[in-house]
Amino acid sequence: MIPSGSRYVALGSSFAAGPGIRPIVHPPAGRSGNNYARLVATELGLELVDVSYSGATTAHVLDTPQDEAPPQLDVLTPETALVTITVGGNDLEYVGTFLRGSFLNTVAKPATILGRRVANRIRARVSYLKDDAAYQTVTDSLTRVVEKARERSPEARILLVDYLSLVGPATRPRLDVPLNEEQLPSIAMMADGLAGAFAKAAAASGADLVAASAASREHAIGSAEPWTTGFTLRPSYLGGHVSYHPNAAGMRAVADLILETLRT
pLDDT, tens digit, for every residue of 13-59?
999 999 999 999 999 999 999 999 999 999 999 999 999 999 999 99
Which pTM was predicted? Answer: 0.93
Residue 111, pLDDT score: 43
The rounded Cα 68 to chain-centroid distance in angstroms is 21
d(CA 247, CA 199): 24
Contact 15, 191 (CB under 8 A): no
pLDDT tens-digit readout, 65-112: 999 999 999 999 999 999 999 999 999 999 999 999 999 999 865 544
Residues 122, 104 contacting (CB under 8 angstroms): yes
In 10 A of CB 175, how many CB atoms? 8
Question: 21's torsion region: left (phi>0), alpha (psi -120 to 50) or beta?
Answer: beta
For residues 51 and 132, give the distance between their C-alpha atoms in angstroms, rounded to a whole number: 30
- Residue 81 host element (H or E): strand 80-86
Q: CB count, 10 Å around CB of 121?
A: 13
> How far is Cα 50 from Cα 81, in angstroms, rounded to an integer?
14
Q: What is the DSSP string of 168-219?
A: -TT--BTTTBS--TTHHHHHHHHHHHHHHHHHHHHHHH--EEE-HHHHTGGG
Q: Amino acid letter at 110?
A: P
